[in-house]
A and B are shown apart, each in its own frame.
Chain A
Amino acid sequence: MSSQDIPEENLPAEQDAHGAVGVADEKDPFADPGLPPHEHRVQDIDERAARRSERTVAMLFTVSMLATVGFIASYVAVPHDKAIYVFPIGRINALNFALGLTLGVALFAIGAGAVHWARTLMSDEEIADERHPIEASPEVRAKVHADFKQGAKESALGRRKLIRNTMFGALALFPLSGVMLLRDLGPLPGTKLRHTLWSKGKLLVNMNTNEPLRASDVAVGSLTFAKPEGLEEHDEEFQTEIAKAALMIVRIQPDNIKDKRELEWSHEGIVAYSKICTHVGCPISLYEQQTHHVLCPCHQSTFDLSDGARVIFGPAGHALPQLRIGVNDEGYLEALGDFEEPVGPAFWERG
């Protein structure tokens, strides 16, 4: 808003050139000069400017009304599954875009109108308000203390110790009922974390095809995931069971396996490791077939699958448990027992 056409007589007297003769107080140049005099805005002295502001505010409120109408129109008119291309955002849902923009404009315009109104048309004179100390005066303080002492004395709590002690006892004990009630939030752990669905003779079922795996199916350098035979996606306990039983199967040239026990528990270089990270339980499976390293995508624990899956980097505390496997008469891979140690994150009773 230019001040070009403001009537000359309405303009305030020309200000002193900025900061030229600043220091008024000779004695203490740093003293507080007090609130600076109020300066007028264009709108304060020029009614035309004020009317312009008024029109701007009214326009913003009108824009808001139109945007709300637009919101209702889009809600009714735009199909909820229509996709449109908007540059530079890409292909997006038309309804979400239309509703969001109209709602945003409707709200923003109300806010912008109100603020513009406050900034240009409401008084902008700064006012000083006195503060009062938060703390009470000494008289009030003394009175409250005296009242409290009087009350405490009348209750005789200090004198009748038996009442006091039993009351504290009662108050301290009753929350225990609440704590008790939390007991049935869940069963006791028992040895549940130590066992999985794997047991001797269970076939390794390919997660992809839902068929038992043959040793000949697994090539060197390949990566396969398996679940225990009999566990189906529709089972009620599927999530809980797969959270422990998930298996990662890779085949490494037997010569490249450094750990003796690993080789022993493998079948011709086919090794089966728990897919659940021993750090905090993410399904670890970022297998690099040349280095035989497997990385956890959550916290980057790295295990060497050619060396007993020992930890070579990151926050995991122990190696991935290996499942001992063999081949049955028909050539299918089978487990030779459960994991010998608990799978997944470590816990106090793990030992």
Chain B
Amino acid sequence: MKKLSARRRHPLAALVVLLLALACTGGLYAAFAPAGKAQADETAQSLAIDEGKKLYAVGCASCHGTGGQGTSDGPSLVGVGAAAVDFQVGTGRMPAQQPGAQVPKKKVIYTQAEIDQLAAYISSLGAGPTVPTEADYGPDGADIAKGGELFRTNCAQCHNFTGKGGALTHGKFAPDLEGVDPKHLYEAMQTGPQNMPSFPDTTLSVQNKKDIIAYLNAVNGDDTESPGGLELGGLGPVSEGLFAWIFGLGALIAVAVWVAARTAKAKKS
């Protein structure tokens, strides 16, 4: 057996070193990557508007103004309704952390009780859409196929066929809808958060919304079946093409290398 040092000039040595280095980097990254910290929550008890007002003063007023009238940093909240608050705060989009093309969804920092208090306060500033109930967005009485047609007409252009999300202009994007609470889906359609247009009940009825939510649950839910196998992100031909090149052709070339390689010769070791 030759010493390792004698092999360091081997033609394949560079490749081996590169692979080792990549493996090390990946391993170290996996080991030290910041893990999501569980955050302890305290629960507030009161549901009064006053409580909401206090929360508002601390968390929201700096951008939306002390009375919800809006400032240059944030729009007016008068008349946006409880549904908008429940969506924005309930998905962690609000309070926003930093200005950017779009405020992304983050970890929720308020409890549902606090969110309800905030919503109550904002509703008191001016009437707006209320938080929907289970009867509005639940699966009972929903027509999945009709929901599919509605989804393709109203939603797929931004959110993709099955709600995997897509790009908008200048770094904005329509988010992936997988795992989004049906209530939040409903509120988003109703209130049109950020750059999303709204689909009020007058043009997209409650039943329509229910159908869309049922469709999404069927094609992008936890139990969704992908009959053909790996879904490849559900993104269509781009990921399929990458898969065909890397795994399809890659495997075939690996096989070809084996077929054409010379068989090991007998040698004294």
A binding-site residues for B, Cβ under 8 Å: 1, 3-4, 6, 11-12, 14-15, 39-46, 83, 89-93, 96-97, 100, 115, 119-120, 124, 206-209, 213-214, 216-219, 221-225, 250, 283-291, 293, 295, 297, 300, 302, 313
B197 to chain A, nearest CB (A): 3
Given contacts A3-B267, A41-B266, A288-B195, contact A217 B169 (CB under 8 A): no
The residue of chain B having its C-beta at the shortest distance from the C-beta of A288 within the complex is B195
Name the 3 nearest CB pairs between A and B, nearest first: A223-B197, A217-B202, A93-B227
B binding-site residues for A, Cβ under 8 Å: 150, 153-154, 157-158, 166, 168-169, 172, 174, 192, 194-200, 202-205, 208, 223-231, 258-259, 261-269
- A sample of 18 cross-chain residue pairs with beta-carbon separation below 8 angstroms, ordered by A number, consists of A11-B267, A12-B266, A39-B267, A90-B226, A90-B231, A91-B225, A92-B225, A92-B229, A93-B225, A119-B263, A124-B263, A208-B154, A219-B200, A222-B197, A222-B199, A222-B203, A289-B196, A297-B158
Q: How many A-B residue pairs have CB under 8 A?
A: 137
Q: Are A295 and B227 in contact (CB under 8 A)?
A: no
Q: Are A40 and B265 in contact (CB under 8 A)?
A: yes
Q: CB-CB < 8 A to B264: which residues of A?
A: 1, 41-42
Q: A41-B263, A92-B226 are in contact. List 13 more A-B contacts (CB 8 A).
A: A3-B267, A11-B266, A40-B266, A41-B264, A41-B266, A91-B223, A93-B227, A208-B150, A209-B205, A217-B202, A286-B158, A289-B198, A300-B169
A12 to B157, CA, bound (A): 70
Q: Are B266 and A286 in contact (CB under 8 A)?
A: no
Given contacts A39-B265, A39-B266, contact A222 B192 (CB under 8 A): yes
Q: Are A219 and B169 in contact (CB under 8 A)?
A: no
Q: Are A289 and B195 in contact (CB under 8 A)?
A: yes
The residue of chain A having its C-beta at the shortest distance from the C-beta of B150 within the complex is A208
Q: Are A115 and B200 in contact (CB under 8 A)?
A: no
Q: Are B267 and A224 in contact (CB under 8 A)?
A: no
Q: CB-CB < 8 A to A295: which residues of B?
A: 168-169
Q: Are B226 and A223 in contact (CB under 8 A)?
A: no
Q: Are B268 and A14 in contact (CB under 8 A)?
A: yes
A12 to B174, CA, bound (A): 69
A310 to B41, CA, bound (A): 50
Given contacts A3-B267, A42-B266, A289-B198, contact A225 B226 (CB under 8 A): no
Which residue of A206, A208, A313 has the most chain B CB atoms within 10 A of its CB atom? A208
Contact of B166 among A250, A291, A297 (CB under 8 A): A297
B193 to chain A, nearest CB (A): 10
A12 to B264, CA, bound (A): 14
Q: CB-CB < 8 A to A41: which residues of B?
A: 263-266
B195 to chain A, nearest CB (A): 4
Contact of A290 among B195, B208, B229 (CB under 8 A): B195
B243 to chain A, nearest CB (A): 13
Contact of B157 among A43, A222, A286, A313 (CB under 8 A): A286
Q: Are B208 and A3 in contact (CB under 8 A)?
A: no
Q: Are A208 and B153 in contact (CB under 8 A)?
A: yes
Q: CB-CB < 8 A to B205: which residues of A?
A: 208-209
Given contacts A46-B266, A209-B205, A225-B154, contact A83 B225 (CB under 8 A): yes
Q: CB-CB < 8 A to B199: which residues of A?
A: 222-224
